[in-house]
C-alpha cells in the first residue's frame, strides 16, 4: 500500500480542521451526559445531531428499548433510556462499514468533574474527553474527509452513537447486533492507550444483581423468628468470591452489598451486585451455570433468592478475521508514520457486541489518552488529527480494495 494523491487530499482535509475537531469535542465534554442523566444525554444528543448534519447522510434518532434495574431495597424498576443517533450513507453500496461510539459517560449529573481544562503538559483533562467524546469527533472528522475521496461511492457507512455503553448497553445491544450482522468491517472509537496501543482480544463480561429476601424480626425479642438477608448476602458473596482461581482467566468481582436497616431489626432485604469476566465461550457457559446454581441454593432456611442480569458482552478473541484486520490497520498506520500495536484487554466495549454479531472490528480507534473513568481523564490534543487521519485512510483503503472488507467478513463468518 502507498498513499495516493487522492488519499493525501483526504488527509489534508483532516489536518486543516484540527481546531474544529478538538473544539467540538471540548464543547460536548463540557455538557454532562452521565448514563442516567436524561437531561444531559438529550442535550449532548442535540449537539451531535447538529454536528452530523454536515455529512451527506440520513440523520435520525432511534428509540432504544427499556431495561430494568434493581434498587438497593430489592425492588425491580423499569428504566427508560435516551435515543441513539443513527447516521446512514449509501446503505446499498457493495461495501458496508459500521462505526460506533457512545455519548454517555460514567460521571453523574452531581459529579464535581464537569469541565475540560488544559494541563501544564498540554493534555486536555475533562469528563469524557477521551472516553469518548473525543473519539466521536475523530469518527465524524474521518467521514467528513473520506467523502471527498473519488472512490467514496463504493463504501456505504452507518454510524450508531449510543446512550448506554457505560452501563453495559442494555438499551442499544439490539441495534448493535443488527448493524454487526449487516456490515463488513467495524470501527469503534474507544480511546487507545496513551502510547497509541490498541486493544486486541477482549474478555467477555456479565453483570448480576442477586436479590436476597429474608424475614424481619426484632433483633432482641424474636431474633430466631427472623431470617437475616444481609447475613445470607454475605455468605453468598463469599461463595462468589471463592470462584476466583477455579478456572483460568475467569474473575468474579463482588462490587456491592446493600440492604438492611435499623440495628435492632433482623434485615429482610439485601442485594448482592457482582461482575464476571471470562476469556472464552466455554468459560462464559461455565460461570453462567455456576452462578445459576449458587442463586438456586439459599445459604440457610427462610431466605429466597432472585437472580437478575447475566452475560452482557461475549468474549472477543483474536480469530483469523481480527488478526487480518489488525495487520491491515498496522500497515495503514505505517503509511502515516504511526506505529500500531495491540495487546489483550480485560475491558469490554461495543466491539464485543459487534464481533458477536459477526463483524470483524477495531474498537480503540479513538484519541490517545488515559485515566478514563476518573477525574484525571485526559486526551492528547495532537492525537485528534492523527487518529482521524488513520480512520480516514482505512476508509480510503477499504474503498480501493487494498483492505479487503469482503474477505474479512468471510473469515469472521467461518469461525461462527
Domain boundary residue among 263, 291, 313?
313
71 and 52 together in one domain: yes
Is residue 260 located within the same domain as residue 300? yes
Tell whether 118 and 187 lie within a shared domain: yes
* pLDDT > 80? residue 381: yes
What b-and-e string marks burial along 7-27, b requiring 16 or more CB atoms within 10 Å of the CB? beebbebbeebeeebbebbbe
Asked if 190 and 227 sit in the same domain, the reply is no
Question: How far separated are the first and last CA of the chain, in Å rounded?
Answer: 30
How much is the mean pLDDT over the chain? 97
Report the pLDDT averaged over residues 196-223.
Answer: 96
Cell 456479565 appears where? 206
Residue 192 and residue 214 in one domain: no
Which structural domain range is residue 253 located in?
A: 204-313
One domain, residues 295 and 322? no
152 shares its domain with 94 = yes
* DSSP strands (E only) in 353-415: 361-362, 369-370, 378-379
CB 211 within 8 A of CB 306: yes
Nearest to 55 by CA among 156, 151, 144: 144
**Are 358 and 212 found together in one domain?**
no
pLDDT for the residue 70: 94
* Last residue of one domain, picked from the residues 298, 313, 328: 313
pLDDT tens for 300-350 read: 999 999 999 999 999 999 999 999 999 999 999 999 999 999 999 989 999
- Total length of the chain: 416
pLDDT at 194 over 80: no
Domain stop point among 290, 313, 336: 313
Which of the two residues, 195 and 109, has the higher pLDDT score?
Answer: 109
Q: What pTM did the predictor assign?
A: 0.94
pLDDT tens digits, residue range 113-129? 999 999 999 999 999 99
Model confidence at 247: pLDDT above 90:
yes
| Residue 333 contacts residue 390 (beta carbons within 8 Å) | yes
CATH number for the domain that contains residue 308 = 3.30.70.360
| Preceding amide of 132 cis, omega within 30 | yes
Q: Quick one: pLDDT at residue 377?
A: 98
Q: Computed from CA positions of residues 282, 285, 288, 290, in that sequence, does the dihedral angle turn out positive or negative?
A: negative
Q: Which of 168, 89, 191 is nearest to 353 (CA)?
A: 168
The per-residue pLDDT for range 279-306, each reduced to its tens digit, is 999 999 999 999 999 999 999 999 999 9
Arithmetic mean of pLDDT, 154-166: 98
Residue 198 predicted with pLDDT over 80: yes
Domain count, the chain: 2
d(CA 159, CA 354): 13
HSE at residue 300, side-chain half, CA atoms within 13 A, is 13
User: CATH number for the domain including 189?
Assistant: 3.40.630.10
| Domain match, 284 and 349 both | no
| Spatial separation of the C-alpha atoms in residues 414 and 407, rounded to whole Å | 11
Is residue 265 very low, low, confident or very high in pLDDT (cuts 50, 70, 90)?
Answer: very high
User: Are 19 and 143 contained in the same domain?
Assistant: yes
What pLDDT digit, counting tens, does each position of 30-49 carry? 999 999 999 999 999 999 99
Residues 149, 276: one domain? no
- Residue-level pLDDT at 236: 98
170 and 237 belong to one structural domain: no
The pLDDT confidence band at residue 196, using thresholds 50, 70 and 90, is confident
Amino acid at each position: 500500500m502507498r498513499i495516493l494523491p487522492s488519499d493525501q487530499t483526504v488527509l489534508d482535509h483532516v489536518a486543516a480542521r484540527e481546531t474544529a475537531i478538538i473544539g467540538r469535542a471540548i464543547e460536548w465534554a463540557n455538557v454532562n451526559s452521565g448514563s442516567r442523566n436524561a437531561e444531559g444525554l438529550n442535550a449532548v444528543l442535540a449537539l451531535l445531531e447538529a454536528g452530523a448534519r454536515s455529512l451527506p447522510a440520513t440523520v435520525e434518532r432511534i428509540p432504544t428499548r427499556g431495561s430494568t434495574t434493581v434498587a438497593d431495597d430489592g425492588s425491580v424498576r423499569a428504566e427508560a433510556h435516551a435515543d441513539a443517533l443513527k447516521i446512514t450513507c449509501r446503505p446499498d453500496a457493495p461495501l458496508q462499514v459500521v462505526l460506533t461510539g457512545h455519548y454517555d459517560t460514567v460521571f453523574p449529573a452531581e459529579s464535581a468533574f464537569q469541565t475540560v481544562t488544559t494541563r501544564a503538559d498540554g493534555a486536555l483533562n475533562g469528563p469524557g474527553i477521551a472516553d469518548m467524546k473525543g473519539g466521536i469527533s475523530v469518527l465524524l472528522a474521518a467521514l467528513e474527509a473520506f467523502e471527498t475521496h473519488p472512490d467514496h461511492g463504493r463504501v456505504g457507512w452507518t454510524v450508531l452513537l449510543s446512550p448506554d455503553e457505560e452501563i453495559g448497553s442494555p438499551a442499544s445491544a439490539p441495534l448493535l447486533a443488527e448493524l454487526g450482522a449487516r456490515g463488513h468491517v467495524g470501527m469503534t472509537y474507544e480511546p487507545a492507550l496513551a502510547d497509541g496501543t490498541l486493544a486486541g482480544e477482549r474478555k467477555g463480561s456479565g453483570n448480576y444483581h442477586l436479590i436476597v429476601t429474608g424475614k424481619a424480626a426484632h433483633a432482641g425479642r424474636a431474633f430466631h423468628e427472623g431470617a437475616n438477608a444481609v447475613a445470607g448476602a454475605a455468605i453468598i458473596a463469599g461463595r462468589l468470591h471463592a470462584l476466583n482461581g477455579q478456572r483460568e482467566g475467569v474473575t468474579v468481582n463482588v462490587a456491592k452489598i446493600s440492604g438492611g436497616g435499623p440495628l435492632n431489626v433482623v434485615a429482610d432485604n439485601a442485594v448482592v451486585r457482582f461482575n464476571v469476566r471470562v476469556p472464552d465461550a466455554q468459560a462464559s457457559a461455565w460461570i453462567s451455570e455456576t452462578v445459576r446454581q449458587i442463586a438456586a441454593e439459599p445459604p440457610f432456611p427462610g431466605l429466597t433468592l432472585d437472580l437478575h442480569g447475566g452475560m452482557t458482552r461475549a468474549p472477543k478473541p483474536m480469530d483469523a478475521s481480527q488478526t487480518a484486520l489488525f495487520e491491515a490497520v498496522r500497515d495503514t498506520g505505517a503509511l502515516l508514520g504511526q506505529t500500531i500495536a495491540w495487546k489483550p484487554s480485560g475491558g469490554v466495549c461495543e466491539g464485543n457486541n459487534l464481533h458477536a454479531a459477526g463483524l470483524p472490528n477495531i474498537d480503540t480507534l479513538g484519541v490517545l489518552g488515559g485515566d478514563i473513568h476518573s477525574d484525571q481523564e485526559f486526551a492528547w490534543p495532537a492525537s485528534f488529527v492523527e487518529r482521524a487521519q488513520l480512520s480516514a485512510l482505512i476508509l480510503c483503503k477499504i474503498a480501493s480494495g487494498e483492505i479487503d472488507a469482503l474477505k474479512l467478513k468471510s473469515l469472521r463468518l467461518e469461525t461462527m
